Structure 1
């Protein structure tokens, strides 16, 4: 079975990691997968680095529809059985050539499609409508959480039999492959996320201020439109000595940063099934997250991590306080228990196997 994965190519976060890891696993299992990026950028570069089969269509913008015939020809000439799109632009392009191709079409919904363009005013409303209409035309839809699956069925009115919940997976390493932790005097917490409103770093900063513990240091790894305002808020709260903005970091840089961390924190307003937490767990960090997406599947109880209420500074502060006051030996035991759990349930092999079963059914 020949499968083509299509993405706009400009992803630089969890979506990129999802696509590249999935195709790496497919290559390991000798599946015939190809990646097509509409434009050259971070996704194509990451695919080349991973020595994956990647092509670039050369589309200049979301409004450049000249590549539609080229896309249809690429799909038909290579005789793909499945076209699998990731992201709104890829969804739109394939929806516009749906009648020209014989391949079955699958979509992965990585995030809440009603929030993807929430900050873009009238234009955002149009993009949202176009994306939902495109997703409805697909032969199957993969949702990365049960909440998203329910949203697609109940609000977007997509037939339930077309929607499949497939949780994200990641590569897990043997504990012996994880670099030893550095000794450090403070309690260090890390937030790996784009600096965007939906990620809720402003809540984390305010919770840190409320915690009022100078021994707790926060490292924010990520870039985005809110970075300047987050730095301003840090100064306004007089948290300068406790907060470090790392900017965008590669996986190699993050792995080194994790050696000095005591806790991985995500305080988003909305998430799917955050890969950054799976990766932090692989690096034996205990987890703290707001109750977004299907986080209860990742952190099933208090023995496996800390969960705070979405959007509530008091709850985030309380969870932080619990973590900081937990003996480090107990935190290490928690991190180990959590890693053992997620490794059993959310491997890339399991993710790929679930997707292949759906491919077989629709073909």
Structure 2
């Protein structure tokens, strides 16, 4: 079976990791998966570094519709059985040509389609409608949480027979491969996320402020439209000595920082199945999340991690306080419990096997 995964190519985060990890595992298993990005960028670069067969369409702008004919020809000439898109722009392009291609069309929904363009005015509303229309047209939808699957079926009115739940996965390392932790003075918390409203970093800052514990230090790793506003809020809350903004960090840079981190935290208003928490788990760091997506699948009980109420500063502060009050031995046990559980349930191999079963069913029905 010949499969082409398509992405705009400009992502730099969970979406990039999902695509590259999946195609890397497919390559390791000898599957015929290729990647096409609409433009040169981080996704194509990361894929090439992993030895994945990678093509770049060369779109001249974000919405270069003149390249649709080139895309149609590329897919049909390549004799692909499945075309699998990731992201709203790739979805839009395929929705405009899907009747002209011979391949079956699948989409992975990585995030809430109703929030993807939030805060972008009229254009945001138009792009939201176009993306929802694309989702209804596709032959198959992979939703990365059950909550997203139900949203697509009940609100977006996608045919329930087309929707399949697939959980994100990562490549886990043996504990002997994980760098040893550094001794450090403070209780160090890391938040790895784009600095956008949906990620809720303002909640995290206010929660840490509410705890009024100078023993806590917060590291925020990510870029986005809210970065300067968050820095201003930090000054307003008189928290500058406690908070460090790193901007975007590579995996290599994060692995260095993880050596002195006690807790990884996401305080998002909406999430899918956050890879950054799985990556923290791989590094034997206890994790805390607001009650978003299918987080209870990732953290099935208090012995595996911490869950706070979404959008609730008091709850976030309370749960962070519970983590701070635990001994190092208790935190290590939680981290070990979560890693063993995650390795069993959320590997990239499990993810690939689930997708391939759907591909096989689709091929049988052609």
> Which TM-score applies when normalising by structure 1?
0.99
For residue 167 of structure 1, what is the aligned residue in structure 2? Answer: 167
How far does residue 63 in structure 1 lie from its aligned partner after superposition?
A: 2.5
Once residues 139 and 47 of structure 2 are traced to their aligned partners in structure 1, the CA distance between those partners, rounded to angstroms, is 26
The equivalent residue for 1:134 is 134
The answer as to 2:307 corresponding to 1:307 is yes
Equivalent residue, structure 2, for 1:289 = 289
Distance 2:41 2:243 in 1: 31
Give the Cα separation in 2 of the matches to 1:89 and 1:204: 31
Partner of 1:14: 14
Residue pair 2:37, 2:55 contacting (<8 A) in 1 also: yes
The match for 2:326 is: 326
> Who is 2:98 aligned against?
98
Residue 153 in structure 1 maps to residue 153 in structure 2: yes
**Structure 2 residue aligned with 1:116:** 116
C-alpha displacement of 1:121 = 1.2
- In the other structure, the counterpart of 2:23 is 23
Shift of 1:62: 3.1
- Counterpart check, 1:177 vs 2:163: no
After superposition, the C-alpha distances for 1:41-73 in whole angstroms (9 at most, x for unaligned) are 111111122221110001122331111111011
1:349 offset after TM fit, Å? 0.3
Aligned 8 A contact 2:187 2:215 in 1 = yes
3-state SS in 2 of match to 1:66: helix
Cα distance in 1 for partners of 2:281, 2:348 equals 15
User: 1:90-140: CA deviations, max 9, x gaps?
Assistant: 001011111111100000000000110011111111100000001111110
5+ residue gaps, structure 2, are none
- Retained in 1: the 8 A contact 2:262–2:286? yes
1:223 aligned onto 2:223: yes
Deviations 1:263-289 (A, max 9, x none): 000000000000000000000000110
> Cα offset for 1:354?
0.2
- 2:227 aligned with 1:242: no
Query: 2:344: which partner in 1?
Result: 344
**CA–CA distance in structure 2, aligned partners of residues 61 and 151 of structure 1:** 31
Q: For each residue in 1:194-228, what CA deviation from the matched residue of structure 2 results, as whole angstroms up to 9, or x when unmatched?
A: 01010000000000100100010000011111110
Q: CA deviation at 1:13?
A: 1.0
Q: CA deviation at 1:74?
A: 0.5
Give the distance between the partners of 2:122 and 2:250, measured in 1 at CA.
34
Distance (whole Å) between structure 1 residues aligned to residue 36 and residue 203 of structure 2: 38
Higher deviation after alignment, 171-180 or 43-52: 43-52
Q: CA–CA distance in 1 between the matches of 2:304 and 2:34? A: 37
TM-score (structure 2 length as normaliser): 0.98
Matched-pair contact (CA < 8 Å) for 2:63–2:89 = no
How many residues align structurally?
363
Aligned equivalents of 2:160, 2:218: Cα separation in 1 = 42
Q: Matched residues in 1 for 2:44 and 2:119: separation?
A: 27
Look up the SS of the partner of 2:66 in the other structure: coil
